[in-house]
Chains A and B, each alone.
Chain A
């Protein structure tokens, strides 16, 4: 059974940084392309970015609102996905979900971790 467990969320001041983690199990992590999706309070889903497996190049692509501020990385030895978030803005307040899948879409989701950007 696929399990994705996010952590690292909390209260951060505008302009600050935070790193989210997602520990994966139940599938071959080093072959998986992994994504982050966020959802602001009472709002819809927003795709944040995706990282390829190292075998497929290991590169990441990002949505425009986060490009240059957020970085997705992975540690295949620890089956862990990361989201480094810098220069945070109040509009980055959201639940951040870690996702994966083989279909092309987001087949499996974690429970999410809440990041609140506020002074």
Chain B
């Protein structure tokens, strides 16, 4: 099975900061990658699919890039509502797997 890693596992940031989270796959997955945001006690919400396509309704401050094994999620200017945990997930082949998550704290 393809393993997903994320870095960092957690970090603190301030509103207005530019934030980058990295996701790496253990083998090439083309661009079959999604990013999710999860807030405490809530179901996750998809932000990006196909590595760089913004889901409808997601603010443009979120962007994704990468292909193959290395991917990034960037938040251009962190807002208070963006403090959450972020997960990547590949859907290249079964079983799909999620990364361990990156928690973004104030």
- Residues of A whose CB lies within 8 Å of any CB of B are 37, 44-47, 49-50, 61-64, 97, 101, 103-107, 109-112
Question: B95 near A47 (CB under 8 angstroms)?
Answer: yes
Docked Cα-Cα span, A102 to B65, in Å, equals 20
Chain B residues in contact with chain A, CB under 8 A?
Answer: 1, 32, 34, 36, 38, 43-46, 49-50, 53, 55, 87, 89, 91, 94-101
Interface pair A109/B96, CB less than 8 Å apart: no
Q: Is the CB of A62 within 8 A of B89?
A: no
Min CB–CB distance B32 → chain A (angstroms): 6
Residues of B contacting A: mostly? loop
- Determine if A109 and B87 form an interchain contact, defined as CB atoms under 8 angstroms apart: no
Secondary structure type dominating chain A contacts: loop
Asked if residues B95 and A61 are in contact (CB atoms below 8 Å), the reply is yes
How many whole Å from A22's CB to the nearest CB in chain B? Answer: 12
- B32, B55, B87, B96: most-surrounded residue (chain A CB, <10 A): B96
CB of A45 within 8 A of CB of B87, answer yes
Contact B95 A107 (CB under 8 A): no
The CA-CA distance from A63 to B94 in the complex, in Å, is: 8
The answer to whether B91 and A105 touch across the interface, beta carbons within 8 angstroms, is yes
